[in-house]
Amino acid sequence: MPGAPDAAPAGEAAPASDVCPLPLEGLSANFRKHVDPKAPVPLRMMGAKGLVPMGPKEMATALYMLTFDADPGVREAAIKNATSLPDKIASSALRDETAEGLVLDFYARSLAHKPEYLEMIVLNQGASDSTVAAVAAHSNHDRILEIISQNQLRLLRHDGIVRALCLNSATKPSVIDSVTDFCVRSGLILSDIPAFKEARRRVLGGAAFSEEQSAEAAAKRALEEQDAEAKLMQLGAFGTQEGHVNEETRETDTRKMSITQQIMRLSVAKKIEWANKKGNKEVRTILLRDPNKLVQMAVVQSPRITEEEISKLSLSRVLPQEVLMYIYNNRQLTRHYNIKVNLVNNPKVPVAVSMRFLSLLRAAELKALAKNKNIPNALATAARNLSEKKSQ
């Protein structure tokens, strides 16, 4: 899902533009004629006024797309309707984790005066980190700032959120202390933020630990991580480099051990960066075994991870429950048939979750599931009954 660009201050609407950054394919074929710039104005106006029956997510997306319309009337109608959606539609759309990041960013700014909607957006994993950072910078609602501060993975993945919380005068000192202490323990140091100086004293050495010693320790740690990252690059662990590594460096066991050793030299914050943004498949596989749950979650939420990787993970019996839960609760991932099949065959998945996928399986998979000795009896029986019903 594409993320939003750096968000404008909360409360400001998106500037009008000739081109919508979302393709028409972002909507179902039946609705595209109501947002297509080439369609007649009356059709687009119907979409802008909310006169076309759509689901909540489609409605919110269509209105966003129409705020870029070339016709001023259509554009104004779309903006007006977007900021006055019925609560039932707005709530459903803003909670939908399959919603585009750009769309959520637009509503975070357009509905900034409604904290109940901002709360839904910052809790939505589909919202981009930059959108959450913008909310953190401008919100004066304690509950929203508290929610943002508790998403530890986002904090380490995007230091702009940490900066925003620390520099926002509305953020409680206790929240700032909690965030900065956590970041220091995780290896994220933002020396230009005054609150981090106090956090370093609290976490690394107390009152006797001088600022000079603290700075030296941080600098030394940074150099160690730079060296480890440079060696990871040389080993072809960055992005998709694995296909371009020299055969001489592909002595599998030795190379894998070298990559593992370099990863172990990284702080939690840097591991998350490699898990989510920098590392290739080999790095992600290694980091899935990291003892820190935040690192494991960063892997499974990586925009680089492939359907094939998720499919294998969905069948894993050693995968941490938190990671498995993220997979089976993510509608974007479970739309893939092979992932659904793997989940119902995985004994670690709760029976209630597997049951909701059961009716979506084909006859062949149902028969195989009914014979699976590793799954709970209740699930096997339900698969058998459903298989027999479909065969009649």
CA distance 159 to 124: 18
Q: Which residue has the tokens 């609150």?
A: 195
Establish if 205 belongs to a structural domain.
no
The answer as to whether 102 is a domain residue is yes
Residues 244, 299, single domain; the answer is yes
* Residue 28 and residue 127 in one domain: yes
Residue among 30, 55, 59 nearest 47 (CA): 59
Tally of CB atoms within 10 A around 180: 27
Query: Is residue 189 one of the residues assigned to a domain?
Result: no
Residues 133-164: tens digit of each pLDDT: 999 999 999 999 999 999 999 999 999 999 99
pLDDT at residue 266, as a whole number: 93
Residue that is last in its domain, among 106, 139, 172: 139
Residue 170 lies in a domain: no
Q: Give the integer Cα–Cα distance in Å for 313 and 303.
A: 16
Using alpha carbons only, give the angle 57, 329, 95 rounded to the nearest 5 degrees: 30
DSSP H or E stretch at residue 255: helix 252-264
pLDDT tens digits, 87-140: 999 999 999 999 999 999 999 999 999 999 999 999 999 999 999 999 999 999
Q: What percent of the chain has pLDDT over 70?
A: 89
Let me know whether 227 and 292 are in one domain: yes
Segment 321-358, tens digit of pLDDT: 999 999 999 988 999 999 999 999 999 999 999 999 99
Structure confidence at residue 10 (pLDDT): 43
Q: Please indicate, yes or no, whether residues 290 and 321 belong to a single structural domain of this protein.
A: no
Q: Do residues 94 and 104 make contact, with C-beta atoms less than 8 angstroms apart? A: yes
Return d(Cα 334, Cα 171) in angstroms, integer.
Answer: 37
Co-location of 278 and 382 in the same domain: no
Q: Are residues 218 and 324 in the same domain?
A: no
For residues 333 and 375, membership in a common domain is answered with yes
Taking the mean position of all CA atoms in its chain, how far away is CA 258?
Answer: 29
Count each helix (H run) and each strand (E run) in the chain, helices first: 24, 0
Q: Do the domain assignments include residue 147?
A: no
How high does pLDDT run on average in the chain? Answer: 88
**What does the DSSP assignment read for 126-161?**
TS-HHHHHHHHHH---HHHHHHHHH-HHHHHH-HHH
Distance CA 175, CA 255 (A): 42
For the segment 281-292, what is each residue's pLDDT rounded down to a tens digit? Answer: 999 999 999 999
Has residue 310 been placed in a domain? yes
Judge if 32 and 124 occupy the same domain: yes
Q: How big is the chain by its Cα radius of gyration, in Å?
A: 24
The predicted-structure confidence for 235-286, as pLDDT tens digits, reads as follows: 888 876 544 444 444 456 677 778 899 999 999 999 999 999 999 999 999 9
Q: Given this model, what pLDDT does residue 208 score?
A: 45
Q: How far apart are the first and last CA of the chain?
A: 41
Count of positions (residues) in the chain: 392
Q: Does the residue 146 lie in any domain?
A: no
- DSSP string of 167-189, one letter each residue: H-TTS-HHHHHHHHHHHHHTT--
Give residue 155's pLDDT: 96
Among 87, 104, 139, residue at a domain's last position? 139
The residues near 60 (Cβ < 8 Å, ≥ 6 apart) are 82, 85, 89, 90, 93, 94, 99, 103, 107
| Structure token pair of residue 168 | 């926002």
The whole domain housing 353 covers 306-392
Q: Are residues 64 and 77 in the same domain?
A: yes
Q: How far does Cα 18 stand from its chain's mean position?
A: 29
DSSP state of 279: B
Evaluate whether residue 367 is within a structural domain. Answer: yes
- Interval 202-236: pLDDT, tens: 887 754 456 666 667 777 878 888 888 898 988 88
The verdict on 39 and 106 lying in the same domain is yes
Give the whole-angstrom CA distance, residue 79 versus residue 350.
Answer: 43
What is the three-class DSSP state of 216?
A: helix
Of 286, 303, 320, which residue sits at a domain end? 303
Burial, 174: exposed, middle or buried (Cβ in 10 Å; 0-12, 13-18, 19+)? exposed
Of the candidates 159, 196, 190, the residue with the CA atom closest to the CA atom of residue 176: 196
Q: How confident is the model at residue 198 (pLDDT cuts 50, 70, 90)?
A: confident
Query: Are both 132 and 105 inside the same structural domain?
Result: yes
Read off the pLDDT band of 4 (50, 70, 90): very low
Question: How far apart are alpha carbons 287 and 171 in whole angstroms?
Answer: 33
pTM higher than the cut 0.85: no
> Is the pLDDT score of 36 beyond 80?
yes
How many separate domains does the chain show? 3
CA separation for the pair 51, 56 (Å, rounded)? 13
The answer to whether residues 235 and 318 belong to one domain is no
Distance of alpha carbon 387 from alpha carbon 392, whole angstroms: 9
Where on the phi/psi map is residue 77: left (φ > 0), alpha (ψ -120 to 50), or beta?
alpha
